[in-house]
Structure 1
Amino acid sequence: MLFKSPIMQVIKCKAAIAWEAGKPFSVEEVEVAPPKDHEVRIHIIATGVCRTDAHAVSTHFKEGLFPVILGHEGAGIVESVGPGVTKVKPGDRVIPLYIPQCGKCKFCLNPKTNLCQKISKIKTAISDQDLMADNTSRFTCKGKQIYHFMGTSTFSEYTVVAETSVAKIDDAAPLDKVCLIGCGFSTGYGAAINTAKVEPGSTCAVFGLGGVGLSAVMGCKAAGATRIIGIDINKDKFPKAKELGATECINPKDYNKPIQQVIAELTNGGVDFSIECIGNIDVMKAALECTTVGWGTCAIVGVALEDRGVPVDPFQLIMGRTLKATFFGGWKSVDSVPKLVSDYMAKKFKLDELVTYTLPFEKINEAFDLMKEGKSIRTVLVF
């Protein structure tokens, strides 16, 4: 069945624009064009602030296009749909997806991956989807075209996404909580369950106890791990990590030896599984080396901005260790996000505990400061 919106006009609303790298966001009035063929215009209600957004405006990141509306961890209500849309209709509650699922390409048809051909530049997906399929933008401000970001751009009160990049969710879901399923929670939780494939009775190490890392801790616990070691240089994160499933937490600054050596000594030779949730090359190396020989598995989640690879000694792999990485926790987005929302509603995992602050959208720069200062697990902005 085709759904056609009765009113298809340009909408004026507020959005946070990054005009150039390294500068604060500017909250401006923008014009949001109507959705075209197979596109959906969404009224964003809430959006999380993720470190990936900070990466995108970093002066160290070379792939970004400006000016741009960032944001990729949102939830909202469908305002209108373009011709050909069949999966959602105005009034539906939805989560925009930075990893699409067209359901037709070789990736979508293969259960081994959650990638989709719609991410045309898979190698640099963080900067991909900067324009819509027709190579034009739906955003303008002060007469200038504004780029999209990751196909979502949730730092705008209204945004336009492809139909393949939206998931319809439970109407009763609190949007200021389930927006985290659009990125941080799903990525960390899935890294443990889908990528590392943590096993019952196993030992695990999770590097980085922010929103993604704490979600990985919950994933390890849900998978049945009996020992979960949280690692972070901010000891203030330890109580929350233990509340969510970590059995112990350690601070690398408390030791005068490499943290991988410390973990190996604590676990009789290394953990069964490790998950890196920071995006630091040296920590990725430590995460691999803290796993046991024979069968240790390391899953990399963090996005590194450094222009160098992970220094892996081939002997580490020859001795039976496995190095993996994950994108959106391995979830096929359109299929999995509604199920994750239902699991949250059924209290199968926690999300509320990940939200440290809920702020009005106009305080977006304050939200980024809280994240950079380590004072917030997740800050959610509401319009």
Structure 2
Amino acid sequence: MNTRGAILRSAPGQWEVTDLVADDPRTGELQVKLAASGLCHSDDHVATGDMPVGHYPFLGGHEGAGVVTAVGPSTPGFSEGDHVVFSFLPGCGRCRYCANGQQYICDSGANLLVGSRWDDAESFRFQTSDGTAVGQMCGLGTFAEVTTVDVRSTVKIPDDIPLEVACLVGCGVGTGWGRRCRPVRSGPGTPSS
């Protein structure tokens, strides 16, 4: 499918919007038309080169939400028209970490910044118009109009949740999950923080 997306050709570099070709989904994959994508500080770290990636050109974006437009063969649980949000941390549900309730360190996430599919370093789902393979940030690449993703990073959500709000859950909540906050108290005789 022809689409457009923001890629980096090198780092440090600038995001460049260009024509891309997204592959049809394979088994265990979905194609999704993005409704919204967040811009995270991690995307800036990739552009400055502070967070190196494994393959250029590289399609940015790792938090987004949209509508499923195609479902790969033998991929149960999803249908065209489903609303989904992406998780930058995949969860296979079967590895030792997922089985022990530690989905945040799923084996599938070991190669998030390589740009290829997690289980095959030579397998990409995007190409430039001249056929050059394009890596996807966290296997997602939400800086595109349409993306092809693995179901391990996809969560179906109710249709009444606004997609522009849901997209922020894919990184913002996952990143802030372990943060501990203490209330700030102020007033007469109370120390303020």
Provide the TM-score with structure 2 as the length reference: 0.87
Q: How far did residue 150 of structure 1 move?
A: 0.6
Q: 1:171 aligns with which of 145, 156, 159?
A: 159
Q: Which residue of 1 aligns with 2:137?
A: 149
Q: How far did residue 137 of structure 1 move?
A: 1.2
- The structure-2 alpha-carbon separation of the partners of 1:14 and 1:58, relative to structure 1 and needing over 3 Å to count, comes to same
CA–CA separation in structure 2 for the residues paired with 1:113 and 1:154: 22
* Conservation of the 8 A alpha-carbon contact between 2:14 and 2:47: no
Looking at CA atoms only, which structure, 1 or 2, has the larger radius of gyration? 1
- Matching of residues 169-248 of structure 1 within 5 Å: 169-188=157-176, 190-192=177-179, 196=180, 220=181, 225=182, 227-228=183-184, 247=185
CA–CA separation in structure 2 for the residues paired with 1:46 and 1:160: 15
* Conservation of the 8 A alpha-carbon contact between 1:57 and 1:64: no
Q: How far did residue 113 of structure 1 move?
A: 5.2
CA–CA separation in structure 2 for the residues paired with 1:97 and 1:105: 17
Larger strand share, 1 or 2: 2
Alignment RMSD (CA, Å): 2.0
- For structure 1, the 5+ residue unaligned runs are 1-10, 197-219, 229-246, 249-265, 272-383
- Secondary structure of 2:97's partner? coil
- Matching of residues 70-149 of structure 1 within 5 Å: 70-112=60-102, 114-121=104-111, 125=112, 127-128=113-114, 130-132=115-117, 133-134=119-120, 135-143=122-130, 144-149=132-137
CA–CA separation in structure 1 for the residues paired with 2:51 and 2:98: 29
- For structure 2, the 5+ residue unaligned runs are none
Aligned length: 186
- Matching of residues 40-51 of structure 1 within 5 Å: 40-51=30-41
Provide the TM-score with structure 1 as the length reference: 0.46
User: Which aligned runs of 4 or more in structure 1 are off by greater than 4 angstroms?
Assistant: none
Residues 323-352 of structure 1: CA deviation (Å, up to 9, x unaligned): xxxxxxxxxxxxxxxxxxxxxxxxxxxxxx
Q: How far did residue 112 of structure 1 move?
A: 4.7
Q: Which residue of 2 aligns with 1:346?
A: none
* Conservation of the 8 A alpha-carbon contact between 1:18 and 1:70: yes
Greater RCO (CA < 8 Å, at least 6 residues apart): 2
CA–CA separation in structure 2 for the residues paired with 1:65 and 1:191: 30
- Secondary structure of 1:87's partner? coil
- Secondary structure of 1:187's partner? helix
